Structure 1
């Protein structure tokens, strides 16, 4: 009986829940206070009634003495009629004047405040590290430097969601080309009037806003503005990562860079200040200059110089850590000439692969340099007298990272050799150029190329193709990157990087009978791969087959990722099967 009663209660409760849910849905459909007008998740939701529900940034903390840093904070009301207020952060100091740093908090213009715990913690640490008062100053101040920390910039070619978000933020007053959100739309003359002599831009290389942040620096440098623009890139991190983990090494270096930048400004700024009394040597280090001072204090000068010398020793200002060329996510080159590769450095030794039975062996091609070598992959269980086709594999990596011994390529080649029963030599773009040259000049010993496979080839060009138009700054970055790759020898439309610039009659030199091109649907270079196949089919090439294999829902060289293989890799396995089938058909025809 008790069981029946419990069951009956559960049924009634379920029915009541369903009834309540139905009522809520009906109410949401008719109640403007619950009907969603604009969903700006994860920041806020606006309802038809005008009510706004903020999903983050509503927590505040009171001003206080921070026991970790010794920084004291205090709130100051700026406008009593509206309640507009700011928070001042003052570091421990020996006495004398302090520079003033004005910090504009983030939050996509719609959430968070000057009293948010995230910014409160960050500014306590920054004020202590930089030795500056954070937040405001007036009375004839001059801006000595601007630091843009992962700023929220967009451009004309963004997805519809970003366009709707900006329309909501500015209440529909401004378009995507307005300088408020897209300063790159400004003419060069406007950039030259930027009222500071120093700009620091920090970029997190996984931030989707990165292209516009880098474009800002490029536009500033190319405008004729007489100041200095610096770019600081943090590899492997997303938007504003430094706010959430102040103790991490990357966040610590980010803050050290900002602090060093603040103090370094004095070196280039002292000569332009007009001082009534005193001397330039006694000037403290300023982001924003104070009113003119009237006292001369030699001890303050000594203390300031000591602080400056210590700060200049911070690695962030060293030419060995100052970025000269940012080629993220592949590598970063510093002003000293040092190159930091962000990927492709992990390698594996030659040997027998336990999973596939493939045996690999390294062969030195140039004994003098010792650096030019190849890796041979031989399938297991093949009679010694049996002739095998040879696959020459040119690894990817933007021409600047990875090697024939990289772990990701080794894993892929073990699988390919085992499945296709071929000998592979590890050495897509290069495959095309080598095949072109082989068709013109021939190969030693009468060897011939039966088939060519381009796996997600790296092609670029001076004009955007449809799959690239979401990023209007791509041509500029591609040209700079290609110039870096080829040391400035060739333009962006040279056939080495843009085979589509090759006249149709010259395709006849392509030295193979069959060609297969594979590409991922989400690869920004997908249209160039498709156009390559179309150009080949419509050219003077006399080959038998030009095939295109496209994988839906995947990006550039997804099949090399461990995650793709570990997850069963259905798509990666299907692409490998397509390549194996192509190789076997080519070898069977010989």
Structure 2
């Protein structure tokens, strides 16, 4: 017989080996897709070459976030029994988009070289090289997404199946990182446990495959495939701070379970977690990403404590809170790009409530200027009037609208629960309008037009200004940008992603004593909520993006129309743009259009 056609080992539907040494991959499932912008998750991706001489590369994913926020970094290794699959295939690409979006993390998906052409340890070496490349950017490097956005104290190594085997083995090397996640790991052992699956053909195929992908191996008790084998490195030596093991009900389940049990025994304690997806098979989360178990697994991957609003805050059972986002504060002064001058003022020394005031360049021909009181976003728990994105936005707004802007530094929850943010903002608004009859702030008394005061808020700031507008100070216009409104009743077209769920969950912590998601402060359309006719202004503008809050914002605008606001209510929909895009991408056409509409609204008179 022709040895080039005589089968030596057949492992359908994965790979077939011939006696000549030739082999062929059998699966047609893995179809490569290009990098780019994913409209569903608002994640951008691109491919980078790590080592031109070997061809080792990676696909990097960046979620739609504010650039001042440093993000966790996930280095991911795909599955495929070491012989198939790719960082670029449709299954892994889709999973990475979802993971990056829901974890608010940069993801780096490793395109390691496949066996048998590149036998073990080459997949380990390739993945380790990518990990080293990633962490090297802590000191600067060629990849701006990592340098500008990455938090190198929060690097996670994640792998599925063969990829889980890879990340376990490289976690024993000399690069320290935050967390290790092994999902449905490819581990074997010669000793069979009573609870192990009994498909002898499949089991024999998996074990025989190992000898082809790792020639020269000592067998299936090689420490590379059996982490608990005699002579294997102690799991105490994993070079990370915590470990998560994800288990399915496939052929490899029991070995993963044993791995977790050994982690517990050797002292990992509360720093090891176990996620069991009962009734689901190997890799189910790739094939059925919308199923309940896949969503539960994704939630466990991205939510590490009792409450972790991705990239924002972690609240512990003790009541303590740790803010996860790194806010970059900037000083006031003259902005050379816009010519706007800013300064900080204390409004209430006893509470610490303050504001940053912005004054555009003044000419002798200038008439009195409109006044904008602005509230930043941040889910009520993060952000600042002094952070770099809001400071830059205020400079642009004051310059282009020819207006005085007053950015409110309200106190943050959960230390200062709702209604303190409303009270602080109302206090600043009253301080501003009190200057109509004279006051201590010369920028307001000399240049402000108190018949043209606007109150504007973004995200949670949009919620704040809505609630303030129901109080006892009248002003000309209200602007809500991507407002934070929630409700217990979901519309058929409303998303139910992790971000949305976290926004709902966090409400209970920032507003203790609340009646729930239909508290009128969170849901302006709830039973018992004040009528929108009572908004204490002359006109309203609602700005929406294609984000998790869009439909609630649209319902708010429709309620304005139903309450006879008519031509005094305006709607701006920024199609294809994510939450807060105007802060992250101020030079985009959508951001320019939003600025034009804001200016037109202010100057309408």
Tell me the TM-score normalised to structure 1 length.
0.51
- Measured after TM superposition, the shift of residue 53 of structure 1 is 5.1
Which residue of structure 2 lines up, in the alignment, with residue 452 of structure 1? 478
User: Measured at CA, do residues 519 and 44 of structure 1 come closer, stay the same or move farther in structure 2, by a change above 3 Å?
Assistant: same
- Measured after TM superposition, the shift of residue 497 of structure 1 is 1.1
Which residue of structure 1 lines up, in the alignment, with residue 537 of structure 2? 512
Alignment counterpart, residue 326 of structure 1, candidates 301, 308, 322: 308
Which residue of structure 1 lines up, in the alignment, with residue 553 of structure 2? 529
Q: Is the 8 A contact 1:396 1:402 kept in 2?
A: yes
- Structure 1, residues 62-118: CA drift from partner, whole Å, max 9, x if none? 79999969xxx996375685454563335999xxx999x9x9988999999999xxx
User: Measured at CA, do residues 213 and 468 of structure 1 come closer, stay the same or move farther in structure 2, by a change above 3 Å?
Assistant: farther
Of the two, which has the highest radius of gyration? 1
Which residue of structure 2 lines up, in the alignment, with residue 76 of structure 1? 190
Alignment counterpart, residue 486 of structure 1, candidates 501, 505, 511: 511
Alignment counterpart, residue 472 of structure 2, candidates 442, 445, 448: 442
- Structure 1, residues 324-345: CA drift from partner, whole Å, max 9, x if none? 5322221113455543222262
Which residue of structure 2 lines up, in the alignment, with residue 464 of structure 1? 490
Q: Is the 8 A contact 2:246 2:275 kept in 1?
A: no
User: Measured at CA, do residues 35 and 359 of structure 1 come closer, stay the same or move farther in structure 2, by a change above 3 Å?
Assistant: same
After the TM superposition, which residues 115-194 of structure 1 pair with which residues of structure 2 at under 5 Å, given as runs?
Answer: 132=266, 147-148=272-273, 165-166=286-287, 181=294
Which residue of structure 1 lines up, in the alignment, with residue 127 of structure 2? none
- Give 1 or 2: higher helix fraction: 1
Match status 1:572 vs 2:570: no
User: Measured at CA, do residues 152 and 397 of structure 1 come closer, stay the same or move farther in structure 2, by a change above 3 Å?
Assistant: farther
Q: Is the 8 A contact 2:532 2:560 kept in 1?
A: yes
Which residue of structure 1 lines up, in the alignment, with residue 299 of structure 2? 211
Which residue of structure 2 lines up, in the alignment, with residue 367 of structure 1? 349
User: Measured at CA, do residues 154 and 460 of structure 1 come closer, stay the same or move farther in structure 2, by a change above 3 Å?
Assistant: farther
Match status 1:550 vs 2:576: no
- Give 1 or 2: higher strand fraction: 2
- Measured after TM superposition, the shift of residue 431 of structure 1 is 4.9
- Measured after TM superposition, the shift of residue 389 of structure 1 is 1.3
- Counterpart-to-counterpart distance in 2, 1:355 and 1:380: 12
DSSP 3-state at the match of 1:360:
strand
After the TM superposition, which residues 1-150 of structure 1 pair with which residues of structure 2 at under 5 Å, given as runs?
Answer: 38-39=29-30, 41=32, 54-55=85-86, 58=115, 61=120, 76=190, 78=192, 81-82=204-205, 84=207, 85=220, 87-90=225-228, 132=266, 147-148=272-273
User: Measured at CA, do residues 518 and 92 of structure 1 come closer, stay the same or move farther in structure 2, by a change above 3 Å?
Assistant: same
Which residue of structure 2 lines up, in the alignment, with residue 296 of structure 1? none
User: Measured at CA, do residues 54 and 152 of structure 1 come closer, stay the same or move farther in structure 2, by a change above 3 Å?
Assistant: farther
5+ residue gaps in structure 2?
1-23, 34-77, 87-111, 125-168, 175-186, 193-199, 208-219, 409-456
Q: Is the 8 A contact 1:466 1:527 kept in 2?
A: no
Which residue of structure 1 lines up, in the alignment, with residue 393 of structure 2? 412
- Counterpart-to-counterpart distance in 1, 2:286 and 2:31: 7
Alignment counterpart, residue 340 of structure 1, candidates 312, 322, 336: 322
DSSP 3-state at the match of 2:329:
coil
- Measured after TM superposition, the shift of residue 493 of structure 1 is 0.8
- Measured after TM superposition, the shift of residue 152 of structure 1 is 8.0
DSSP 3-state at the match of 2:398:
helix
DSSP 3-state at the match of 1:392:
strand
- Counterpart-to-counterpart distance in 1, 2:596 and 2:578: 18
Alignment counterpart, residue 395 of structure 1, candidates 376, 380, 388: 376
User: Measured at CA, do residues 34 and 515 of structure 1 come closer, stay the same or move farther in structure 2, by a change above 3 Å?
Assistant: farther
- Structure 1, residues 89-148: CA drift from partner, whole Å, max 9, x if none? 35999xxx999x9x9988999999999xxx9xxx9xx999988599xxxxxxxxx99955
User: Measured at CA, do residues 378 and 336 of structure 1 come closer, stay the same or move farther in structure 2, by a change above 3 Å?
Assistant: same
Q: Is the 8 A contact 1:358 1:414 kept in 2?
A: yes
Which residue of structure 1 lines up, in the alignment, with residue 603 of structure 2? 584
Match status 1:358 vs 2:356: no
- Counterpart-to-counterpart distance in 1, 2:250 and 2:362: 65
- Counterpart-to-counterpart distance in 1, 2:307 and 2:566: 41
- Counterpart-to-counterpart distance in 2, 1:486 and 1:536: 25
After the TM superposition, which residues 230-379 of structure 1 pair with which residues of structure 2 at under 5 Å, given as runs?
Answer: 232=304, 323-335=305-317, 337-343=319-325, 345-369=327-351, 371-379=352-360
- Structure 1, residues 362-409: CA drift from partner, whole Å, max 9, x if none? 11011223x210111111124498321111101111111112211110
- Measured after TM superposition, the shift of residue 61 of structure 1 is 3.0
- Measured after TM superposition, the shift of residue 552 of structure 1 is 1.7
Which residue of structure 1 lines up, in the alignment, with residue 522 of structure 2? 497
- Measured after TM superposition, the shift of residue 149 of structure 1 is 6.4
Q: Is the 8 A contact 1:364 1:374 kept in 2?
A: yes
- Measured after TM superposition, the shift of residue 559 of structure 1 is 0.9
User: Measured at CA, do residues 128 and 368 of structure 1 come closer, stay the same or move farther in structure 2, by a change above 3 Å?
Assistant: same
Alignment counterpart, residue 538 of structure 1, candidates 538, 562, 565: 562
User: Measured at CA, do residues 358 and 333 of structure 1 come closer, stay the same or move farther in structure 2, by a change above 3 Å?
Assistant: same
- Counterpart-to-counterpart distance in 1, 2:235 and 2:391: 57
- Measured after TM superposition, the shift of residue 512 of structure 1 is 1.6
Q: Is the 8 A contact 1:412 1:560 kept in 2?
A: yes
User: Measured at CA, do residues 35 and 537 of structure 1 come closer, stay the same or move farther in structure 2, by a change above 3 Å?
Assistant: farther
- Counterpart-to-counterpart distance in 2, 1:524 and 1:479: 11
- Measured after TM superposition, the shift of residue 38 of structure 1 is 3.8
5+ residue gaps in structure 1?
1-32, 46-51, 135-143, 156-161, 168-174, 185-208, 215-230, 233-322
User: Measured at CA, do residues 147 and 365 of structure 1 come closer, stay the same or move farther in structure 2, by a change above 3 Å?
Assistant: same
- Measured after TM superposition, the shift of residue 519 of structure 1 is 1.2
Tell me the TM-score normalised to structure 2 length.
0.49
DSSP 3-state at the match of 1:501:
coil
- Structure 1, residues 207-235: CA drift from partner, whole Å, max 9, x if none? xx633657xxxxxxxxxxxxxxxx73xxx
Q: Is the 8 A contact 2:375 2:464 kept in 1?
A: no
